[in-house]
Structure 1
């Protein structure tokens, strides 16, 4: 039976360290705490890495964070050949903040791209240096330069980024909030987390469980490195940090 973990990152993506108590260690050595600031791989965003600090100061290196039987069960995967903690042991979680912050900036940039390109999303992957978003686009308007300029306009406007919760019934009544063509938000929990950009979500609002910055200016310089045609109506946009390189 899955163990529910309090996901501290859902309320504060900037929390890089927190205390937790070991509630279980699974048969593969995965460590489950009662609460954690570590994000588990989901929705195209990779899970956090870092370490768990024991009371004696020793560290358990964490190479990945994944979901268990559902998204509420968060499992910290230790690197090989480390002594496991005991159930009931108190640990302090430390995420690799530099890596997480890059992912937060990138994930926010992906949301901004869906504003610039308002087409059904067919796939996405968030990375530390490059991310991709795939869209169902029959005919492509614009190029790397024009899309990059539109992205930077949204970044520079420094729109606030926030989250809110709505009921599953509210989501069903507003199907346009779902931008993904093939993937629906997980149901059954009774509520859905929205990521909103702009005052009163004036720029964008969509279901997402990932981590993001709190204002678009934090994304920094961003550009489209490549636009690829993947099938008759599928276009892949590759987002990269830094200004658009001169031709």
Structure 2
């Protein structure tokens, strides 16, 4: 796949409909095995579609991909491509899905309308932002001496029903209430959530938590900043203000092999 896809969701997480141009359409089975293995193939005849730009978030950074539809701008009677999963294989973003009706497909460099599942996008954005809020809350508690000074941000998952943030170092279970209180305080402050593109040097020096795995592109390192409290390198989608997260609930704190795992969920406020 040598067609570069512009990831519009990286700069505007509230763009839910978009016109784009098809770059390629081919059966999933025609791709190399290692690329096919990235996808859970949907039932029917799965295809891989690429376009010049996309609003579909590609799975990664602990956040699942968007789903939705892609339809032709030229004919309301044209086929509908149902997007089941999206992955990035540089420089392209691959949309896997099926056509309806079966056997139909887009022809050539067709103009299309992309439409994501808005409810799913909003939920994923709430969960992802909430994960960073928990990270900031714990970092604040470390600075205040309420948690051990060796606590360091680790990996995270922002999947509905399975969301967690990990930290190197041990967080005692009786600190759950302290973490919840600080998270509640941050959300109640309704801080702005902003996206920036920083140099790698600035990201490493200014971000609250920096994993060695982060990487930038021609725009720089994408960073999410929450008020003036802190920031993280991040490729995910986010809410614009913290109250949009709803109620962020700390489900539990578990410790194993020097790692603390804080599980959480978001609820409607």
Could you list the runs of 5+ residues in structure 2 that have no partner in the other structure? Answer: 29-46, 140-150
Are the structure 2 counterparts of residues 236 and 61 from structure 1 closer, same or farther at C-alpha, using a change threshold of 3 Å? same
Residue 114 (structure 1) aligned with residue 132 (structure 2) = no
Could you tell me how far 1:214 is from its partner in structure 2? 0.6
Check if 1:185 corresponds to 2:217. no
Deviations 1:39-76 (A, max 9, x none): 001111111001111233342111111111x2x42111
2:118 to 63, 87, 97: 97
Q: Distance in 1 between matches of 2:217 and 2:240?
A: 28
Moved over 4 A (4+): none
Q: 1:146 aligns with which of 178, 188, 198?
A: 178
Aligned position for 1:11: 11
Q: Could you tell me which residue of structure 2 aligns to residue 75 of structure 1? A: 94
Q: 1:171 to 1:221 in 2, by over 3 A?
A: closer
Q: Give the superposition deviation at 1:180.
A: 4.6
Contact 1:16 1:94 in 2 (8 A): yes
Higher mean displacement: 51-60 or 136-145: 136-145
Contact 1:225–1:240, Cα closer than 8 Å, also in 2: yes
Aligned to 1:125: 157
Query: Normalising by the residue count of structure 1, what TM-score does the alignment of the two structures yield?
Result: 0.86
1:56 is matched with 75
Give the alignment's Cα RMSD to 1 decimal. 2.3
How far 1:26 sits from its partner (Å)? 4.1
Q: Does structure 2 conserve the Cα–Cα contact (< 8 Å) formed by 1:168 and 1:190?
A: no
Which whole-Å deviations, capped at 9, do the CAs of 1:174-216 have from their partners, x for residues lacking one? 1x626255x4212463611111110xxx111111111000110
Kept in 1, the 8 Å contact 2:246–2:268? The answer is no
**1:125–1:131 Cα contact (<8 Å) kept:** yes
Aligned counterpart, 1:212 = 238
Distance apart, 1:102 and its partner CA: 0.4
Does the 8 Å contact 1:185/1:207 carry over to 2? yes
**Does structure 1 residue 88 correspond to structure 2 residue 109?**
yes
Structure 1: gaps spanning 5 or more residues: none
- Give the total of aligned pairs: 235
